[in-house]
Structure 1
Amino acid sequence: MGILSRKFNVFAALLIGAGALSALSGAALAAEIIAIRLGETSVSETRIVFDSNGLLTYELTASGEGPGRLDIAFDGATLSPKLPRQGRGAGHIAGYSSTATAGGATVTLALGKGARIKELLTIAPSAANSRHRLVIDLLDAQPGALAASLPPRKFESIAEVIEAVSPTQASSLDPVAAPRPPTLAPLARRPVIVIDAGHGGADPGAEGPSGSTESAATLAAALELSDALTQTGKYEVVLTRSADVRIAHEERSRFARDAKADLFISLHADAHADAKVRGGSVYTLSDEGTERSVREALATGNYVVHDYNVGEDPSLGRTLYKVAQSRTENESDIFAELLIGKLAGVTPLLNNTHRRGNFKVLLAPDVPAVLLELAFISNKQDETNLKSPTWRKRTMGAVVTAIDTYFEKRSAVAPQARSGAAASLP
């Protein structure tokens, strides 16, 4: 098998402009890898967690014959003196080794059986856990599948993406007038809320101890939320599905854009090999997912933001995309925090409730979006809740309250938007 690699910069998307990046000293960028944890989350899945005291820049490389190995090169990172340089494996991992290099550190995961990367995400520090975490989930696969599952290359900037896929280059190096930054809509119309019930049809999702399915639980919750929002008379509500049918992930995010959604909420139910784990969580798009959104949208050549096709002029499109994407990420995070606040005390929640993931349903680059994991269907108490009309009514009521608060705050800043100021929620 050949060698394939993908490079990522976990913090690059958080900084706007080269000036902000250059202002950081080398010491500020350095992070220490404190621990490496491995465990089987199910008979077919393995989770690897890297704990660090700072944000990590890393490159994934898959190589070797047979099951192969996964090398993670951490740029500028150091290894804790207490971190074992070799360790026993678990699940798909036969063992691992860690090595300090001139440019940082490298961790090699030797696979004992065929696997592919199912998910790669980062979890920010919280009051309960001060560490940064990089999480890699592996799933059973044929030998050789690891390289093909590497997440797409992390582009260093939006400009690089647009220039890589644009059919023409800028004809001049003359500066292009910066477009007016997109602002929050003044809400002259009723906000459009798209509710996405996860899974469906031939894809039932996870299954609970009593045999109930995730697809049925999410549909019931989506219908409850739709009814509650409609009764307020404040919103136009659209469901991606209202029956037990399967819809591709890409179609769900495209559905939100076509509906000109002001907010997209995807409902799911989690599962874990440990049946004691319970509680809800809220996901917004990770940095890796943001880059996939850029690549996929621009590769089609038909991405339009504010009535402008970004493929027509790389210079102007670069600025438009950056501003639109930054605004969307910010609004998604704002709503996620509001939602968590309203759900607290109404339904059990995981620690570090706000998480980030590379989910396809969150890829629409100009629609604020969250993925709400309602509960763990693998837990008996949570499964009982998911099947309870009373719990659904109470929990979806909290979601409605969060939506109301979000748009009330948005209306409060509308005068700024109308005056031309770049508005954002407080």
Structure 2
Amino acid sequence: MKKILVCLTVLACCSTPVVFAETFTAVSEVPNENVQINKNVSKDPYFRFYNVDSQNISVSYNNLSRDEEKALLKNLSSYEKDNYKYVKKVQKLISQNRWNEVFYKYPNFYPAYIQYYDYNHSKNDYQKALPILVKISNLNKYNNVLDNSSIDYNLGVLYLYNSQYSQALNYLKKFEYKQDENIISAIADCYYYTGNYNAAISYLKKLPSMDYHNKETAYGAYYALGNSIEANKYAKSLLSTNYNFDNLLKVAQTCSNNSDKLTYAYKAKGMATSDRELKSVNHIIAGLEQKKLEQRVVGLTQFVKLPKWVDYEKQIPSNVAIAELSAKQDEFFKNANLYLNKYKGQQLTNAFNSLNQDFTNYIQNKQNQYYQQQQLKAQEELVQEQQRNNMLQQQLLYEQRMRNYLERQNFYYMSRPYYYSPIYHGWW
């Protein structure tokens, strides 16, 4: 089952709950909490020059005009002026996105870590944002700048996004008491991806209603537990919302009888858009069709050797297109069923022998084509190799001629007098 991620979309400054969807966006606040801008929330002397949004885990530098800066400096002590100049140096590097230089020169400057987290978070680079937030969490233990519950919540979200589900559970479970649907859904996802399918189902049942993503999770959990009846219910619900190849295949795999399975499998085949999809559904169809043939042969009074599609399929060369292979599979089962309906006794045996001969000839023809293609390919590679060798020989000959020419030139100039020039033979 393809990996499903959760999307948490948050409206700042309001109490509207976040909403899950198939894609996941990390958030910057705890659901149902209002954003508050906190100034001077720490004994850290540098934070007085920033506006701190403790719940959204961000800080904004108070970039003052020249007049505002003069007015500020008048009211600052010598120590505070030094801090202000220090902050300006750091912020200049940050404004140029010179983050490596920032952390090399100022490794313990807490506001820079918050800004770097916000920078990566705004770019949806959650892989980089996660270790920074872990660093912030550790720094916040000593500075108490940010809201700890907001840090924990965002850590849970980022661990979830980075597929570290056990760690995500450790943080998200702290907020279970809020009974927020999105947190419950996220916890269910974490349990599902850690293989605790019963716990995932238990949390999904706590939701007042399930969205499309929740139903996909429920289907996957029930299917993994081997509960085809419940899995089929969710598969059909998904199909009613989104009629596509994947959902048709989900229904086919969980139907209680082979006839229904085959019906939905053929419907899925009609919706296949890639070789991978066509190959996967053909494998399911072939197994079901072969079972159906075997059941019909069991009811015959005489012995009949039933041909098996898998025996032919494994002999077909790999260069045969999936679409052509699919058509031959359909032809095989169509003719086999037709012969069972039309013939009996020796006539049925003769018909199956004819079917066997037809597909044997087809396989032989395809194998011959494949071997011919391989021979042509080998000949082309040999010709190319000979051409490369010829070019190399020509290059070596050219280099040898150049060396010979340079040696002759060198010998010629070395044999002449050193001061052979009229300038050295003047009248004086």
Please give the TM-score of this superposition, normalised by the length of structure 1. 0.17
Pick the structure with more helix per residue. 2
**Structure with bigger RCO (C-alpha 8 Å, 6+ apart):** 1
